[in-house]
Chains A and B, each alone.
Chain A
Amino acid sequence: MAAPDDLLLDVRNLRITAAAGAVLVDDVSFTLAPGEVIGLIGESGAGKSTIGLAALGHVRPGCLIAGGSICLGGREVLAASEKARRALRGREIAYVAQSAAASFNPSIRIGAQVIEAPVVAGQLGKAAGTEKAEGLFTELDLPAFGSFGRKYPHEASGGQLQRAMAAMAMIGGPRVLVFDEPTTALDVTTQVDVLAAFRRVLREFGCAAIYITHDIAVVSQMADKIIVLRGGRMVEAGPTNAILTDPKESYTRELVRTRRSDDAQGAGPDGSGEPVLSVRDVEAIYGSHKVLHGVSVDLPPRSITAVVGESGSGKSTLARCIVGLMAPSGGEIRFSGETLAGYASQRTALQLRRIQLIHQNPDMALNPRQTVLKTIARPLEVFQGLRGSRVREEVARLLAQTELPESLIDRPTSRLSGGQKQRVCIARALAAKPDLLICDEVTASLDQLVADGILDLLRKIRDTASILFISHDLGTVRRLADRLIVMKSGEIVERDTPANIFSNPRHPYTSELLSSVPEPRTDWLTEVLAERAKAEHAKIREDHR
């Protein structure tokens, strides 16, 4: 069947299965007109990346396109030979991966990698490729190709690499681009610039695109149409505005709602009583690089204090100093009246028990060769001296508290889902009966709805322990925290209740951070960019006076 001439990509009844038989993508159809951007949105496992790759005629090893058709510019991709598909990639359709840092070859200069494909394919000469790359770099707001192209990937920032990756995809002059979560690994402040660059270059070259993300607010900035996927099936599809303002399905409503619900927490308990933890003028140094410059924080009992800031702001270092994984080079950390020693090994068992850390990535924080029982039992044995059948009872109780089914108790931790793993980590921390829980980006690697469940759980834990919640996601923090601390370059720039900070940010960095959080409406990015341009103009004018 030939697609009408005005359609670039026509995907019909696509069905992809794993070799073992599981259906990954079922009955997905959509079309893409020239210059149109379509957003695929869903949780992990929804099949969005699988569909994106299938558009390039590629499936991951172990997967199989079991049915349907994919027409690219009127040609059936699935019927084409692998050689013919290779010829399409880069010229007709190209791919921008999630982690540019992992996708670039670290030992080859960026410029060489950007122009490599069309040059090797004989599509462009080296000089023509360089010329084209120069144009693209300017368009994407990257430094000049001559200097930046000579850098190695590790010398560039994450946002720059992601844009260089887009240049690499654009260089063959494709008519369709597939973006696979291209800004997920970036800070919100960087994300704004990268999104703006992507949007400009798509419009400039009239490219159509498939934009894959789990963040409905991000996709609203890019896409004309949105397809909501769940478990490999299309839940809902429609123009972006209609999906945002009038979602038909309850699942879509939930996705939009969690991004919208911006009612900030009240101040919660007013912080009366002796602070549990008191950090005074703490400084920390990595090698010769100072990462904390005199940070002071008081954590009141039974409250959630959130620390936000972009990567490199020192928020994780602060956490590592508090738990004793790193010794501060100056200042003092007092915990219920006692000064804490620098390293955990010098602290008393009681101090260790009362401060517990929950890591960002539950995959790395659990020993994959241990069962849930053993994982949670160890702190019970070490800190509470429990033995025998009482251990199992207590583990069962902790599983119930963290809303995990008791049937998981004998399962190896490697066979849990991401959300379940993080709950096991929380249960392991709770087993120590802590007074202070340090949560280091605990929801960063989880899907939105799963993360919401974890946040609900933390809110319940607040009744028994004080929580220090480290995050780069202001949306999450706004709904959770009683008080908020904003960090930048190793210093605290602002502290207040979330309500006050969100309504009236005093520090310019806080305003920038706040305005960078994507909102689920289509004109958000345009507004932010316009506002920033205006502020920039005002500043320049001021400087001139």
Chain B
Amino acid sequence: MSNAAIDTGLRRRFARLPLLQRISLVVIVIYAIVVVFGPLLAPYGETETVGSAYEPSSVDFLLGTDNLGRDMLSRIIYGARNTIGLALAISVLSFVVGVSTGLWAAISGGVVDQLLSRAVDVIIAIPKLIFALLILSIAGTSSISLVLTVALLDAPRMFRVSRAAAGNILVMDFIEVARLRNESRVWILFHDVLPNIASVILTELGLRFSYVFLFISALGFLGLGIQPPSADWGTMVRENAALISFGLMTPIIPAVAIGLLTMSVNFLIDSASDRGSELDD
């Protein structure tokens, strides 16, 4: 297919989306640009103190300055990199871990399935935020421990969804046919199961991404997320929270950035899963 053909194909797909989804897609693309080209777009450095504290918005500082006199706009732009990058890393890790164990449990059945499923029940039974706070206060709050901890807490959800979806496929007759050819489990998973559950688990991945994103923002707000002076939207809300009582909008800005992205991702996933289920019928 030529480039032009791909281009018109995409344009037609875009035009067919409902308005809300079109807006969501545009928002997500803007976020992606900010993440990729952040340092080029930001007027000041991430941790540079450029003015006095709590300056209102002006020509120099479009969104004002924060409690230490750093430029809010630059912090938001750098924060996008940190927060979204971290959320992506966590969702992908939890996706890989959760889906592979989920599929393994589904196709093995018996003891393996029981052990994995009950272990997952235990993890899910403990309130996630408290569990995370506990581990992070012991293990420290480096990016690595943050990624590992949140991914571990999130993987059980992916496990459950992929195990259930795979279970529905594994009872189909074409799986029997494959077993009667003595196909390996890996072959069955990759050829017969995964293609048929792809839409379900990818939808779940998108959904989990927005939850993870909210979760690390919450951790940041509680002081256990990305550590200062690195910019992070959750932490930024907390640092400037006092201003809300003076009627200033500074703390609202990172909060809006968080809300806008999660809503856009959710709207888009929603329509994708609707169409996915239509395809399945």
Chain A interface (Cβ < 8 Å from any Cβ of B):
323-325, 344-345, 347, 349, 352, 356-357, 359, 361, 364-370, 378-379, 382-383, 428
Contacts and interface: CB of A to CB of B under 8 A. Distances in A.
Contacts of A356: 180
B196 A369 contact: yes
Given A367-B196, A368-B196, A349 B177 contact: no
A365 B174 contact: yes
Given A352-B181, A382-B181, A366 B196 contact: no
B182 A345 contact: yes
A349 B180 contact: no
The B interface, classified by DSSP as helix, strand, loop or mixed, is: helix
A345 B179 CA distance: 8
B172 interface: yes
B181 A379 contact: yes
Contact of B179 (A325, A361, A366, A382): A325
Interface string B165-209: 000000011101101111100000001100110000000000000
A13 to B, nearest CB: 32
Given A345-B182, A359-B176, A378-B181, 20 more contacts: A324-B180, A325-B179, A325-B180, A344-B179, A344-B180, A344-B182, A345-B179, A352-B180, A352-B181, A352-B182, A356-B180, A357-B180, A359-B173, A364-B173, A365-B172, A367-B172, A367-B196, A368-B196, A382-B183, A383-B181
A16 B251 CA distance: 59
Interface of B: 172-174, 176-177, 179-183, 191-192, 195-196
A325 B182 CA distance: 11
A359 B177 CA distance: 9
A366 B174 contact: yes
16 contacts: A323-B180, A325-B179, A344-B179, A352-B180, A352-B182, A359-B173, A359-B176, A365-B173, A365-B177, A367-B191, A367-B195, A367-B196, A369-B196, A370-B195, A378-B181, A382-B183
Contact of B173 (A345, A347, A361, A378): A361
Contacts of A344: 179-180, 182
A487 B196 CA distance: 37
Nearest to B180: A344
> Top 3 A-B pairs ranked by shortest CB distance?
A369-B195, A365-B173, A359-B173
B175 to A, nearest CB: 9
Contacts of B179: 325, 344-345
Nearest to A432: B181
B192 A367 contact: yes
A235 B21 CA distance: 48
Contacts of A349: 182
Nearest to A382: B181
Contacts of B172: 364-365, 367
A378 B180 CA distance: 12
Given A367-B191, A367-B195, A369-B196, A325 B181 contact: no
A428 B195 contact: no
Contacts of A379: 181
Contacts of A383: 181
B177 A357 contact: yes
Q: Most chain-A CB neighbours within 10 Å: which of B176, B177, B179, B195?
A: B177
A361 B172 CA distance: 10
A347 B179 CA distance: 11
Contacts of B173: 359, 361, 364-365
